């Protein structure tokens, strides 16, 4: 169960890192769009979307594994 807990924590950490990357890319996209550089803004917006999608997938995986942890703890 200790390994499962570490795995869940690692997934949460990675998801948080991807959320930060998404936020940073989104801010950069907004800055470029405000300057009229739509092409670069859209590129950063695409990166933000990719980072956000990855964060969501990792969070889902962590949630799924935390359900496994509950079922293991109830089996004691």
pLDDT at 74: 46
Question: Exposed e or buried b for every residue in 23-56, given b needs 16+ CB within 10 A?
Answer: eebbebbeebbeeeeeeebeebbebbeebbebbe
Q: Where are the domains of the chain?
A: 14-74
The number of C-alpha atoms within 13 Å of 16 and in the hemisphere containing its C-beta is 6
Question: At 46, is the pLDDT very low, low, confident or very high (cuts 50, 70, 90)?
Answer: very high
pTM over 0.75: yes
Vertex 68: Cα angle to 67 and 70 (nearest 5) = 65
pLDDT score at 49: 98
pLDDT band per the 50, 70, 90 thresholds, residue 1: low
**Distance separating the N- and C-terminal Cα atoms of the chain:** 11
pLDDT at 3: 87
């Amino acid at each position: 169960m200790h390994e499962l807990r570490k795995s869940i924590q690692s997934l949460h950490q990675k998801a948080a890192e991807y959320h930060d990357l998404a936020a940073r890319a989104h801010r950069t996209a907004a800055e470029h769009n405000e300057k009229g550089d739509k092409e670069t803004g859209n590129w950063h917006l695409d990166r933000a979307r990719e980072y956000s999608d990855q964060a969501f997938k990792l969070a889902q995986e962590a949630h799924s594994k935390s359900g496994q942890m509950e079922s293991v703890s109830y089996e004691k």
